[in-house]
Chain A
Amino acid sequence: MDNFTVGIVVFPGSNCDRDVSWALEGCLDIRTKYLWHESSDLSDVDAIVIPGGFSYGDYLRCGAIARFSPLINALDEFVKSGKRVLGICNGFQILTESGFLPGALVANKNLNFICDDVELDIVSSKGGWFNNLDEKQTIKLPIAHGEGRYHCDSDTLKKLVDNELIALRYKNNPNGSSFDIAGITNEKGNVLGLMPHPERACDEIIGGTDGLFTLKSLIMK
């Protein structure tokens, strides 16, 4: 895994790109490379993180403009090849806007920007993004979002449940998400989108290490 490189997408307005790089390089010794959104060359990265932030100032809708970047256009082939893509917060919003994941993320029910630690149940091990081998099936990760209320129609929700695509559910739903959903995968399991920030939970000194497993799983084949 010496040469394994994780690409971190940078949009105008991304603000968690350096956090993700710090967590991967500093805590896990995984090589990273920033990918400017106008690039469509993904040939030298083995996995991709779309980090949090406010791409294009959240204009129109969160993730709506980012969806049309050359990099997101190139992502289709990358995903089809089975390589892993992790969308965190704004990255999750971009993945739903661009159709890689179903549903949408809308304004929190209480209209507050919520910045807090939340308890999450690991629901599915699809894609191996979370450690569900331990007896403890609950992790604690920080959230920081104003538009993180997951919404989908009832047919989509049934499909998510039936195909075990719901990765994480909030123990105490903070934002009004349908079915307490905090993170979902695609059917193949190689794309994960979640509102909580695993990169902010990678060192005891900043409050916990429950995010390490998910970031480390980027190097899974």
Chain B
Amino acid sequence: MDQFAVKVFVRLRPSVLDPAGEATKSASIKLGAEGIKSLRIGKMIEVKIEGNGENEVREKIDLLCDRLFANTVIEDYEYSLEKL
């Protein structure tokens, strides 16, 4: 069995308004940061997972992302995978 460290990034789709991102952008500007054109907040999920090779692990992660980690009505996801 191989072990993998997976980092899943879940983001609101570009068409979905992100009010928390907008509020944080406004605070960033108040802090004095200049030049911020856009700021959107997502989630990062770290998973350590075992499987027989990368393909099998990718299948498992795809299922998790599609059915649980992200709601694809409002969110997109992508992930990176590192063999431990």
Contacts and interface: CB of A to CB of B under 8 A. Distances in A.
Contacts of B19: 107-111, 176
B71 interface: yes
A111 B17 contact: no
B27 interface: no
Interface string B57-75: 0000000000011010110
Given A109-B17, A153-B15, A104 B69 contact: no
Contacts, number: 35
B16 A151 contact: yes
Most B Cβ at <10 Å: residue of A60, A152, A176: A60
Contacts of A103: 73
Interface in B6-26: 12, 15-17, 19-20, 23
Given A60-B68, A64-B68, A152 B73 contact: yes
A97 B75 CA distance: 12
Interface residues of A, number: 20
A61 to B, nearest CB: 6
Contacts of B71: 61, 64, 97, 104
A68 B68 CA distance: 9
A68 B69 CA distance: 13
A106 interface: yes
Contacts of A108: 19
Interface of B: 12, 15-17, 19-20, 23, 68-69, 71, 73-74
